[in-house]
Amino acid sequence: MATSARRSAILPVSVAMFALGLVAIIAIFTLFAVGYQDLPVWLNLATLLCPVGLVVGVIATVLRNRRR
């Protein structure tokens, strides 16, 4: 453990994308429960950040561990 492992800048970005996607999903469910039905397209597209962040995070983790 003399050398510290270099942290990837991609992993925090993927976690943030995943979190924003989850917030968008929660917002859609909340707005639908309140009674809104015609939600904006950007909010529906923001939910795609969740699976994209997950995929990017998995790929970044696999690539980082393969280099070791």
Number of domains in the chain: 1
For residue 8, give the nearest of 62, 49, 44, 48 by alpha carbon.
62
**Six token digits for residue 9:** 């800048």
Buried/exposed code over 15-41 (b: 16+ C-beta within 10 A; e: otherwise): eebbeebeebeeebeeeeeeeeeeeee
Q: Which domain holds residue 57?
A: 10-67
Whether 1 is covered by a domain: the verdict is: no
Whether 33 is covered by a domain: the verdict is: yes
Alpha helical stretches, state H, the chain: 10-34, 41-46, 49-67
Interval 8-63: pLDDT, tens: 788 999 999 999 999 999 999 999 999 998 999 999 999 999 999 999 999 999 98
Sorted by sequence, the CB contacts under 8 Å of residue 10 that are 6+ apart come out as 56, 57, 60
Confidence tier at 67 by pLDDT (50, 70, 90):
confident
